[in-house]
Amino acid sequence: MTPKPKPPRPVFATPALTLYADRHCVSPYAMSVFVALTELGLPFALRTLDLAAGEQAGAGFAARSLTRRVPMLTEDDWALTESSAITEYLQDTRPGAALYPHNRRARAQARQVQAWLRSDLLPIRQERPAEGVFCPGRPPPAPLSAAAQQAADKLATAALHWLSDGREHLFGRWCLADTDLALMIQRLILAGDAVPGVLRCYAQRQWLRPSVQAWCTLPRP
């Protein structure tokens, strides 16, 4: 039997790139950037901020992140926030990067999936927070509200449309949209909610990707 590959580990040194994330490393958006950097094999430092304590408003961070949000990526003395902007920058500046499909229309659709997951389905994000995915041992959540169930049905309808033929990835080969979609589905799976088998298999397969496992196995307070 071929041994299971170990998840790659980022280089926690003092490279040119630094990723700022939340203290507990549960932000889906920081995860997306972390996975992108890891997939590209780029050495980067990971620094975390205690958002509950307001560290994002501290003078040092706020001077570089005018939006006072994480994730933030710094490259030497240059800084960029918003996960989609960061990952598109990494794609655009690294020739041959495979964070997004090479086909123009598929690439646009992948970005559509990411934008939709970030801007819609709020009841799922509220009632099935990412802490439940990355911090096991939390009490079982309450059943989904009517609004959250409606959002879950909407998610399933769209995802089944994309994945009903049993494909392994959304667009023929892995891209960041796969990781983001899998996380949204994992919110429901790990809370014990009903999820169609096709989507359950897809999300769990995506979860085994070494770059995703590298994020999942980070030490957390």
Buried b / exposed e across 160-183, counting CB within 10 Å, b at 16+?
A: eebbeeeeebbbeebbbbbbbbbb
Residues 69 and 114 in one domain: no
Residues 113 and 87 in one domain: no
Write the DSSP symbol of residue 8: P
pLDDT per position as a tens digit, 65-85: 888 888 999 998 899 999 999
Residues 93 and 110 in one domain: no
Where among 73, 97, 121 does a domain terminate? 97
pLDDT per position as a tens digit, 201-218: 999 999 999 999 999 999
Residue 10: inside a domain? no
Instruction: Say whether 84 sits in a helix, a strand or coil.
Output: helix
Q: Is the pLDDT of residue 189 over 90?
A: yes
Residue 77: inside a domain? yes
- Residue range(s) defining the domain that contains residue 81: 17-97
